[in-house]
Amino acid sequence: MDLFLQTLLNGLLQSGIYALVASGLALSVGVVGIVNFAHGEFLMIGAFLAWAASASLGLDPLLSLPVVALAVFGVGALTYRVSIRHVLLAPELNQMLLTFGLGILLQNLALMLLGGNTRTVSTPYQASSLQLGELTVGGPKAVAFAFAVALLAGLYFVLYRTTLGRQMRAVAQNRRGAQLIGINVDRVYLLAFAASCGLAAVAGVLVSVLLFASPTVGLVFALKAFAIIVMAGLGNLTGVLWASVLLGVSEALVQTYVPGGGGWSDAVFFLMIFGTLVLRSFRGSR
């Protein structure tokens, strides 16, 4: 029983990061209408920036987090200006391939400049753990989860309680209608896309503490984020939370109860994508 509860807890904690990555992606898909295949690479940039701040300045990743988020927000805004903006009206295929190209470019630039090694960040609380009755929680995991929850709460507050959020949701529902009532659609797109990149970067900082920074660290998270937003339904932000928890917990269950589960848990997201897509396509509601 304790093993089961421990597994559920681990899955839940893991889902915080997933939700962070996926809600960023959902913002880009839902508001801007761009499926950003380079989303994982913005996460990777965040992880590397946190590592660089920690290695050169001795700054704790959780302290450098706001600066890193802001920096990647800027990179995202720039990316929108020079590339995304020009394919907004192009066929979906072109948008997809453009972001795909961007992802390959960023990933391999990192590989070229920094090499393929994984970089770890060491923090004093890395090995610490909390004891909750019979259950143990890794310190960094708990901190990362707390950060993710706080940020998601902030995101939902902005989306549902502020003018900017209302504008974003209006643009997501109907681009032309939003334009007609005087919303600056281009500005909303810019902010939404940059915010989506910023969220990825925050997740990246947390990943650098939990795992490591490496040029390819983003891909797996991006794939899982795709699984989550596909399961939630494109652009459905509340669904993202439930789907993240579902993915995190099922992965943890596979890890604990399937023999040799460590390797197989990476296939869980695929089954979820496939199951949802197939189910949905056969029901005929896409």
Binding site for other proteins (CB under 8 A): 35, 83, 86-87, 90-94, 96-98, 100-113, 115-116, 215, 219, 223, 226-227, 230, 260, 263-264, 266-267, 269-270, 273-274, 277-278, 281-282, 286
**Would you state the structure tokens that stand for residue 220, as one six-digit string?**
């797996």
Least Cα distance to 76 among 187, 204, 191, 197 occurs for 197
Report in angstroms the alpha-carbon separations of 280 from 13, 85, 239, 276: 28, 31, 15, 6
CB of 110 to other proteins, least distance (A): 8
Which residues, at least 6 apart from 120, have a Cβ–Cβ distance to it below 8 Å?
51, 212, 213
CB of 228 to other proteins, least distance (A): 11
Least Cα distance to 171 among 153, 159, 157 occurs for 159
CB of 239 to other proteins, least distance (A): 16
CB of 286 to other proteins, least distance (A): 8
Least Cα distance to 269 among 212, 225, 234, 217 occurs for 225
Complex with other proteins: residue 92 or 134, whichever CB lies closer: 92
Burial class (CB in 10 A: 0-12, 13-18, 19+), 194: buried
Complex with other proteins: residue 7 or 107, whichever CB lies closer: 107
Complex with other proteins: residue 60 or 266, whichever CB lies closer: 266
CB of 281 to other proteins, least distance (A): 4
Complex with other proteins: residue 8 or 97, whichever CB lies closer: 97
Say if CB 213 and CB 47 are below 8 A apart: yes
CB of 273 to other proteins, least distance (A): 5
**Would you state the structure tokens that stand for residue 243, as one six-digit string?**
């789907």
Complex with other proteins: residue 81 or 166, whichever CB lies closer: 81
Complex with other proteins: residue 60 or 186, whichever CB lies closer: 186
